[in-house]
Amino acid sequence: MSSQTGLEVGLRQVAPIPLAARFGCEAGELLALVGPSGSGKTTILRCIAGLNHPGEGTVSCAGAAWLDTARGINLAPQRRSVGIVFQHYALFPHLSAQKNVEAAMAHVAAGERAGRARDLLQLVHLSGLEGRRPLQLSGGQQQRVALARALARDPAVLLLDEPFSAVDRVTRRRLQRELAQLRARIRVPIVLVTHDLDEARALADRMVILWRGETLQEGPTAQLMARPATAQVARLLDQNNLFEGRVAAQRPDESKTLLAWLGYTLEAVHAPAFGVGDAVSWMIPPECVILHRRDRPSAGENENPVSGVIRECVPLGETTSVALDIDAPAAVPLAMSLLTHHARRNRLAVGDRVRVTLLASGIHLMPPAEFSSARAADKSAWRE
């Protein structure tokens, strides 16, 4: 991979934090580095900015090498054209918003700085607050000043380190929307570090999944969420419906793979990588589990029908989260989500016996999980 406008990163080190990361980000693209705490997201961002120095690796942006340990290149942060928004913003507390932004404009003629800074503050909706110091601004306003300061340098890459984590939910939504709008105006690679999957899903074009400093998978956000490469990535993406099964048959002419699971034979999208009899991990997103109506049968009920008993039924605003215990020798939980009014109409209650369809298009097969006991550890890592 090499790019004249994008960012290319390859990092490797053993200590103090193990790193084995490789990814790229094109101009105008927003790439999310996603992983639980301790996965090295922030360290990688700092390596791009030149604030951390990895054991070995390369960082290049718009064709210029910023770091190349093999060639002895390691530019100081001042010489890397980065704009960075720190998690806690790191504004200069003794300077006004205007002066904070102007401070990053050494490359601009002195006479033009004030006007440019005002324009940038207007871009982030802070007109009228130029004279305020950081302490006189709200968290959301501070974040905007930090963004304006990051843009003031006319950076070749924009780095955002958990930029929305320190503000309340309403402000976060607004800031996220503003970032999405801002992207149309800045054609540089944007790298966003986050542990919030929803945030990554909402904002990113592509995602890099990190685990203990290692790139597990990189890809377009939607594809990665629906088709994780391994059970571990699926777990890191908070996919709860993750099971073990066996390939029962391959039907390439029908574009189907048949999956044997707990005595059921499920149809799945054709997965030619696996042979008949292979053990596999498989997942299905909760939204691909469809409840059968009790009053009358409807079309599509012949697709992978499975029955079970409702173990949990929790309305969460517009959607209701339902967990079933599938009928099987050992009760296996299956999660699904449906619209709350739908759940009410069906009068779902704990203990009810229901039938559901597992949409074949939602079933995704992966190589068998290496160690299923890691599951608990992986999940708890997210809870910080």
Partner 1 sequence: MNWPALLLSLKLSAWTVVWLLPLGILVARQIAWRDFPGRAWVEAAVALPLVLPPTVLGYYMLSVFGAATPIGQAWQSAFGRPLAFSFDGLLLASILFNIPFAVQPMQRAFQSIPREVREAAWCSGMSHWRTFLMIEFPLAWPGIVSALVLTFAHTMGEFGVVLMMGGNIPGETQTIAIAIYDRVQAFDEHGAAAMSSLLLAFSLLAIGAVYVLANRVGRPRE
Q: Which residues contact 4 (CB under 8 A, 6 or more apart)?
A: 62, 63
C-alpha torsion sign, points 340, 341, 342, 343:
positive
| Stretch binding partner 1 (CB under 8 A), from 87-95, 212-220, 269-277, 316-324 | 87-95
Long-range own/partner contacts, residues 163-166 (CB < 8 A, 24 or more apart): 163/85, 163/87, 163/192, 164/194, 164/196, 164/199, 165/87, 165/194, 165/196, 166/87, 166/88, 166/89, 166/139
Q: How far is the CB of 220 from partner 1 (least distance, A)?
A: 29
In the numeric block, which tokens belong to residue 241?
């419906």
75 sits near partner 1 (criterion: CB under 8 A): no
CA distances from 197 to 211, 333, 382 (A): 14, 23, 11
Residue 231 binds partner 1 (CB under 8 A) = no
- Using CB under 8 A as the binding rule, whether residue 51 contacts partner 1 is answered as yes
Choice between 80 and 206, CB closer to partner 1: 80
Q: Is 49 in the site for partner 1 (CB under 8 A)?
A: yes
Q: What is the DSSP letter of 328?
A: S
- Contact between 93 and partner 1 by CB under 8 A: the answer reads yes
**Cβ 174 to partner 1 shortest distance, Å:** 22
Among 229, 263, 236, 254, CA closest to 364:
229
Site residues (CB under 8 A) for partner 1, limited to 147-176 = 149-150, 152-153
Q: Does 134 bind partner 1 (CB under 8 A)?
A: yes
62 binds partner 1 (CB under 8 A): no
What is the C-alpha to C-alpha distance for residues 158 and 30, in angstroms, rounded to an integer? 9
Residue 260 near residue 248, CB atoms below 8 Å? yes
Residue 94 interacting with partner 1 (CB under 8 A): yes
When binding is defined by CB under 8 A, the residue of 28, 69, 92, 269 that contacts partner 1 is: 92
Is 104 one of the binding residues for partner 1 (CB under 8 A)?
Answer: yes
Between CA 322 and CA 313 the distance in angstroms is 5
| 282 touching partner 1, by CB under 8 A | no
Residue 129 CB, nearest approach to partner 1 (Å): 17
Please tell me whether residue 83 binds partner 1 under the rule CB under 8 A: yes
Contact flag: residue 132 with partner 1 (CB under 8 A): no
Does 116 sit near partner 1 (CB under 8 A)?
Answer: no
Task: Please spell the DSSP secondary structure of 16-51, one letter per residue.
Answer: SS-EEEEEEE-TT-EEEEE--TTSSHHHHHHHHHTS
> For 265, how many CA atoms within 13 A lie in the half-sphere containing its CB?
8
The nearer residue to partner 1, 45 or 310, going by C-beta atoms, is 45
Closer of 143 and 221 to partner 1 (Cβ): 143
Site membership for partner 1, residue 206 (CB under 8 A)? no
- The strand pairing partners of 310, in sequence order, are 324
- Using rule CB under 8 A, residue 109 touches partner 1: no
List interacting residues with partner 1 (CB under 8 A). Answer: 49-51, 76-78, 80, 82-84, 86, 88, 90-94, 103-104, 106-107, 134-135, 149-150, 152-153
